[in-house]
Amino acid sequence: MRPIKALVVKALVVMAFLCSLCLIFLYSSLNLHLAHRHRALLEVSANRRSEISFETLSTKPVPTYLRPTLTKDSTKSVLIQVTVTPTPDLHQAAVFATLKKAVPQNTAYWNRVFYSGIRRLDKGGNSTRLDWSHCRHDPEQLRTNIHDFTSYPELHQDFLLGMECRNPPILIDQPEKCTSEDGETFLLFAIKSTPRNFEQRQAVRETWGREALYGGGVRVRIVFLLGSSSLDEPDLSQLLVLEARHHGDLLQWDFHDSFFNLTLKEQVFYRWVLSRCPKVSFVFKGDDDVFANTEAILGYLQSLEPNKNSTLYLGQIISTASPLRDSKSKYYIPPTFYDGPYPAYAGGGGYLFSGSLIRPLYSVSKFLPFYPIDDVYSGMCFNALGILPEAHDGFQTFDIREQDRENPCVHKELLLVHRRSPQQIIRLWRSIHNPVLIC
């Protein structure tokens, strides 16, 4: 019996030893799990503290445009988070000192709204940011402030009704457009287009708007800026989705793509750059029916004096313009809407400016009332910053002599001409890059 008892004792000892090992292992695992969980909770707590410090402990409320905006991407039916880094405050009315000299203080509606905003700025007020779905003016308010409002053309009335609408949701985004994996963006082509202008966009892509690394190791990228088709036009949204997937260069917002909404397109582009491409060196803003000489543009930019890199605003300059009063003109402005000359501005067919100006331009645009003509409005924004436009003979936004329009040697010396058909753009691009061309 003793041998059996001895075996039983040994078995009990082994079992006790194994149980001890199991308990030690379980205890260690539990401690390790709790440690990880504790560390995770600390990290979440830290993140929440940082969010609280940004959202609630700031001396000023966080503006709506700085908070994440969720929009639906029709290509994937998912939500895209678009954030904008903070912009400098403009609580110094001196920023608008130059523009105040150019814009007379009188009874015209835009002039009154402008000076009302300046007074609000003088008192340290913030710009008005209305929700997109509740931003349209009350017609009665406009009739009260503009005695002949009902006599305005329908397009002008509609513009005034939506004059405070500044935050449309984005429908098609390119969040990875300016990633730094293949170098910072030296020149960004920002081309105004419309949903139906596929041929124009494709001609630009195949010629002067080609994304590439050019001489001197500078990176060029392109985006096309689109609104949405009207209810009276065919729905091209699915075609735009396919185009955006294939080329990766479409940006589209949920507002009617019209001539008077080009000013809105200007502002949403500023906001997009701040979020997606904040380190761009230079921006070329233009139409999709221009012919641009990319190599000549890059050569000019690379030859700039260092002190001009941050203050460039270059194009064909309109320096003595005033509103057109012919109601049949595309550029008609009613006398009771705006009264006075325009500040000097670069023609909207195409112009260049420094990427470092995007942030102050966006800040200024939040206080400056929208204007129906986008290049005039852009000139006002630059003027408000004290940046005066610089003329360059290479920009021909009003075209050149008719007999020179098919001459590649003439175009080889220019930076931009306006307007050209897709077929003309392709022919000119091939011609000026023909190695046997003698000029």
Q: φ and ψ at 220, to 5 degrees? A: -115, 130
Query: What residue segments make up the domains of the chain, in order of their start?
Result: 170-432
pLDDT at 12: 56
The secondary structure of 60-125 as a DSSP string is SPPPGGGS-EEEEETTTTEEEEE----------GGGGHHHHHHS--SSSHHHHHHHHHHHHHHTTP
pLDDT at 37: 37
pTM: 0.80
pLDDT in tens, the chain (439 residues): 445 555 545 555 556 555 555 544 444 443 434 343 333 333 333 333 333 222 222 223 323 222 233 333 433 333 334 444 333 444 444 688 999 999 999 999 999 999 999 888 888 777 666 789 889 999 999 999 999 999 999 999 999 999 999 999 999 999 999 987 778 999 999 999 999 999 999 999 999 999 999 998 999 999 999 999 999 999 999 999 999 999 999 999 999 999 999 999 999 999 999 999 999 999 999 999 999 999 999 999 999 999 999 999 999 999 999 999 999 999 999 999 999 999 999 999 999 999 999 999 999 999 999 999 999 999 999 999 999 999 999 999 999 999 999 999 999 999 999 999 999 999 999 999 999 999 9
Contact in structure between 279 and 355 (CB atoms under 8 Å): yes
Domain 170-432 in CATH 3.90.550.50? The answer is yes
Q: In terms of Cα–Cα distance, which of 166, 173, 367 is closest to 264? A: 166
For residue 9, what are the β-bridge partners? none
Q: What angle do CA 217, 218, 220 make, to 5 degrees?
A: 135
Contact in structure between 273 and 354 (CB atoms under 8 Å): no
